[in-house]
Copies of this chain bind each other. A is one copy, B any other.
């Protein structure tokens, strides 16, 4: 079996999404560091791996992929018998529905809040308070839907932890270090769910990679 190759950076949320999937699966991998500060993701040889000039890129033997959620789905399906299942074959359509919710309702809002509250201060830029207020209101509406769903099943896709939950980890973690965490904490089912999935040992290992 080829060792999986992840080209990226442990500070990138999309790279984190791929790494936590591989670690949940207990698979061997090499993390090939792409220096974002030096713009390595915007030039060759990297853009031959990801033509949009964004991390990560992924290789498994001859197969090359670059969208983080396509990579996680490939790993979950093609290494189905290793580690945590991460997909529910029985409830696949429902799991996919909630994966789409993450992509089209959660991330567009969470990524703006992450940019304003975490990444802009990190780069010495000024947070736009109006953008924070607007997106916190949108997030509250999204999490009201999550609260109802998580009152019916322990995880978004059903009673097992799947990619539908896992895909949230990078931005959940990012926002838990900001005042926006109150929007999660004020909803009991959302709060229990986010604490549960953030406590997975695989996620601690991803965070550890940022220390090196």
Contact A103 B105 (CB under 8 A): no
A97 at the interface (CB under 8 A from B): yes
Q: A51-B148, A52-B145 are in contact. Are A93 and B70 (CB under 8 A)?
A: yes
Distance from A75 Cβ to chain B, minimum over Cβ atoms (Å): 9
CB distance from A162 to the nearest CB of B (A): 13
Q: Which residue of B lies closest to A148 (CB)?
A: B51
Chain B residue at smallest Cβ distance from A149? B51
Q: A211 on the interface (CB 8 Å rule)?
A: no
Q: How far is A108 from B63 in the complex, measured between Cα atoms in Å?
A: 27
Provide the residues of chain B in CB contact with A187, threshold 8 Å: none
Are A70 and B145 closer than 8 Å at their CB atoms?
Answer: no
Chain B's closest residue to A14 (CB) is B104
User: A62-84 toward B: CB 8 Å interface, digit per residue (1/0)?
Assistant: 01011111100110011000000
A178 smallest CB distance to B (angstroms): 23
| A interface list, Cβ under 8 A from B | 51-52, 63, 65-70, 73-74, 77-78, 92-94, 96-97, 99-101, 103-105, 108, 142, 145, 148-149
